[in-house]
Structure 1
Amino acid sequence: MSLPLLIHSLLMKQRKFLYHFKNVRWAKGRHETYLCYVVKRRDSATSFSLDFGHLRNKSGCHVELLFLRYISDWDLDPGRCYRVTWFTSWSPCYDCARHVADFLRGYPNLSLRIFAARLYFCEDRKAEPEGLRRLHRAGVQIAIMTFKDYFYCWNTFVENREKTFKAWEGLHENSVRLSRQLRRILLQQKEKYREIGFVKIKSFCTKAVVRSEKTTCKMGENIYK
């Protein structure tokens, strides 16, 4: 693997995890994105953990792209199935979502799940939602982190020193709020396809009626004569 300097120690410091993954409404000053990952190989009903760790973005390169570079160096067996799970402090930006979707098209035997602590929106608030919808169309499972996800991350990726994870005030409420927001974003995709389908059906029916009327006019008398 050619990115040893990009891989941090397997365990994060407690304060760093709590600061960057806290799902507060106004996350001021949190300009870094952290990504905790688990890579598993799936064999029928069982799965084997191959690797886990965490990354953060570097100057000029977002953390999602760092992970793609990292796993691209793996010699993935095309005859086996792999599942990658991300826990991210921010959801992907539009460009990263596009790169991830394109990457997955080249690896049909690899599936991806993303659990985000917060939703990221740039100045153009239409771009990032479209990026999430693009990931969803590519088969990526996207969700907002809940208490059980934080609990898992605390016990898997954090140097917790046997301390039990404790939820901060507002964790559940903010998770529910963000989940609803994400649901609305992804539902817009379904509504769009539903509208497209309706237009196609309506267009088909209209053409069928027109053809029927033309046929009737040819077979019978012109009622407007």
Structure 2
Amino acid sequence: MPLILRRQLPKEQFYEGFENISRPHFTLLCFLLKENNKTLFDLWGYAINDRQKSHAEELVINKMEKYLVENISPTAEKYKVTFYLSYSPCANCCFHIIEFHKKFKDKIHMNIKMSRDYYLNDLNVQRCLRDLLKTDISIKVMDRNDFAKCHYLFVEDGNTAVFEPWPGLETSYDFFSKQLEILLDLLVQSEETEADGEERNIDNSVRLCCNTEAYQSAHHSGDCNLHRAPYLTPKKNVRGEEETTSQFHTPRKVGPSDERRGVGVRRTLFK
């Protein structure tokens, strides 16, 4: 079962999924739902993409939607959803997130924090991210504090074990943050151009992210693996199958090989 509720994440799986210097073959999503700033443990846990079936985001969205339909409280002022994602959402997952947000927009505030980008050079992904950003959903690249908080909240013995940052974390963060920043600027420009009745293909422009100072630093320093395969991202489609038409060299995306399910929650979470 790739959706794990009320269980903590094995330490090895956390680092394998979230280390932003590599490109794992799976998506890891740690999630929590708060009602009036109180964590609901029925909707707290982590998910990994199901083999050839569903992406982690889709699994969690479906679970949360079912829970809220059946249990939403009329006295709740606001529900807060937080996603810690090993990859930014693909086009299809952006659609599911947007539809979920529309359904509960008067009650839900969403925060999405991602370790690394997922095919930001893909024009369809760019457009879907733009649609996502048109909502009031917050999306950002995870920095060191975000990794440490995710480790504390979701990893076995994370409240006592010290988060161990890896070499290249800051460089990769700078690189992916710059990518997202450039993409957002280009999306705004694209929107303004479209408003003037013109079409603009921003795919080639986003490739300029590879010329940023952060990327060049990673390329020459040897501190991380970005220089080896900056776009070695597992391509995924609606059916969870590998997309052979990708212009990038893409490893096959599979589910987790580790069948451990973690241990139960034993501590108070951040408020």
Q: Give the TM-score range, shorter chain.
A: 0.7 to 0.9
Measured in 2, the distance between the counterparts of 1:6 and 1:155 equals 20
- Conservation of the 8 A alpha-carbon contact between 1:33 and 1:56: yes
Letter in 1 for 2:100: F
Q: Equivalent residues in 2 for 1:1-225 (5 A)?
A: 6-7=3-4, 10-24=7-21, 26-27=22-23, 30-42=24-36, 47-51=37-41, 52-59=44-51, 60-74=53-67, 75-77=71-73, 80=76, 81-108=78-105, 109-121=107-119, 125-160=122-157, 162-196=160-194, 199=196
Question: Taking structure 1 as reference, are residues 105 and 172 closer, same or farther at Cα in structure 2, changes over 3 Å only?
Answer: same
How far off is 1:79 after superposition?
A: 5.4
Letter in 1 for 2:123: K
Describe the superposition over 1:158-190 as per-residue Cα deviations: whole angstroms up to 9, x where unpaired: 014622112111101110110110111122222
- Conservation of the 8 A alpha-carbon contact between 1:89 and 1:116: yes
Measured in 1, the distance between the counterparts of 2:163 and 2:130 equals 32
| Partner-residue secondary structure (3-state), 2:4 | coil
Measured in 1, the distance between the counterparts of 2:122 and 2:2 equals 33
- Cα RMSD between the aligned structures? 2.1
Instruction: Give the share of equivalent positions with the same residue, in percent.
Output: 26
| Partner-residue secondary structure (3-state), 2:17 | helix
Measured in 2, the distance between the counterparts of 1:90 and 1:17 equals 13
RCO comparison, higher one (Cα < 8 Å, 6+): 2
How far off is 1:58 after superposition?
A: 0.7
Q: TM-score, normalised by structure 1?
A: 0.77
Describe the superposition over 1:16-53 as per-residue Cα deviations: whole angstroms up to 9, x where unpaired: 111111001x51xx2211110121113xxxx2111321
Question: Taking structure 1 as reference, are residues 196 and 128 closer, same or farther at Cα in structure 2, changes over 3 Å only?
Answer: closer
Measured in 1, the distance between the counterparts of 2:2 and 2:164 equals 32
Q: TM-score, normalised by structure 2?
A: 0.64
Structure 2: stretches of 5+ with no match in the other structure: 198-271
| Partner-residue secondary structure (3-state), 2:171 | helix
Structure of larger gyration radius: 1
Structure 1: stretches of 5+ with no match in the other structure: 201-225
